[in-house]
Homo-oligomer: A and B are copies of this chain.
Amino acid sequence: MNKLPEQNDLSTSNSLSFGEGRGEASLYIIKIGGNVIDNSEKLHEFLKAFADLKGNKILVHGGGKMATQLAAEMQVEAKMMVGRRITDIETLRIVTMVYAGLISKNLVAQLQKHGCNAIGLSGADANLIKAKKRPVKDIDYGFVGDLDENSVQTENLSKLIDGGFIPVFSAITHDGDGQLLNTNADTIASSLAIGMAKHYQTSLVYCFEKKGVLMDVNDENSVIREINPTFYEDLKAKGIIADGMLPKLHYAFEAINKGVKEVFIGKADDLSELESVGFFGTKLVN
């Protein structure tokens, strides 16, 4: 297993560490997007599968259409720039309410119903994810928070996990100086997986709209089961991985290079396979 640079070994040695119980315990970080949140039937099935998954796990959820709906009800105009939402102060208020309030607490209540000891968290809670407000260059993205390798406060998060709690993260972070920030949920999932690789064997699981990485984009049955870096370069060169899959896989392999054991990419509907056959969609490995 790749390890992160050793800079944090001093802090980990002060608490639970490899020799002291957590050892090579595994941890799943599972990210669902708005397409799951917006479909109550899909969501119900997904949450059941998530609750049934044994072992340590974290859920990271995106927002879905609810924030856009609320903005419309409040007659707040959604501001987009190069396909990204601009988070002005009013939009920050809305996403804080919808992501960290409405969606987070409803997911938690549903998971508790399934016997899963979920706890809904933003990055501000227990200082778990500290972001930096994105600097203004050509575009002012507003209250958007970017993460770096020190963003995740892994000791507090490990305490919660070791206490038997199942963290459910919304994509709201803070700057440590009292300001909440809006952060991309994919990035949160990846940063959690990388950060927690100090303490656990982490598996990062992205649920998206397809069954996995496809050999033929028009054939859902052409899922590639496993991709390593060499095969990845090959698939890129042949144009099989292109467009929206490129950044997804780029960040996935970056996570693997930074100590994450494996990345799965697949459809939320199939999550139960992770428990039943230990596999899900496409697996990316080192």
Contacts from A to B (Cβ < 8 Å): 70, 73-75, 93, 96-102, 104-106, 108-110, 112-113, 117-122, 124-127, 156, 159-160, 163-165, 172, 174, 176-180
Contact = CB atoms under 8 A, between A and B. Distances in A.
Contact of A112 (B113, B119, B174): B174
A109 B178 contact: yes
Contacts of A98: 97, 101
Contacts of A97: 70, 97-98, 101-102
Contacts of A102: 93, 96-97, 101
A96 B156 CA distance: 26
Nearest to A126: B119
Contact of A160 (B106, B109, B163): B163
Determine how many copies of this chain the complex contains. 2
A152 to B, nearest CB: 15
B73 A105 contact: no
A174 B109 CA distance: 7
Contact of A109 (B70, B74, B108, B179): B179
Nearest to A175: B109
Nearest to A128: B119
Contacts of A74: 70, 73-74
Contacts of A99: 101
Nearest to A168: B125
Contact of A105 (B108, B113, B118, B124): B124
A8 to B, nearest CB: 19
Contacts of A159: 163-164
Contacts of A75: 73
B163 A112 contact: no
Contacts of A119: 121, 125-126
Nearest to A116: B127
Given A113-B176, A163-B160, A125 B108 contact: yes
- Closest 5 pairs between A and B when the two form their complex, measured CB to CB: A101-B101, A97-B97, A113-B178, A97-B101, A109-B124
Given A124-B120, A156-B117, A163-B160, A105 B109 contact: no
B112 A105 contact: no
Contacts of A104: 100-101
A179 B125 CA distance: 23
Contacts of A96: 101-102, 105-106
Contacts of A100: 100-101, 104-105, 120
A179 B156 CA distance: 29
Contact of A127 (B73, B117, B172): B117
A230 B151 CA distance: 55
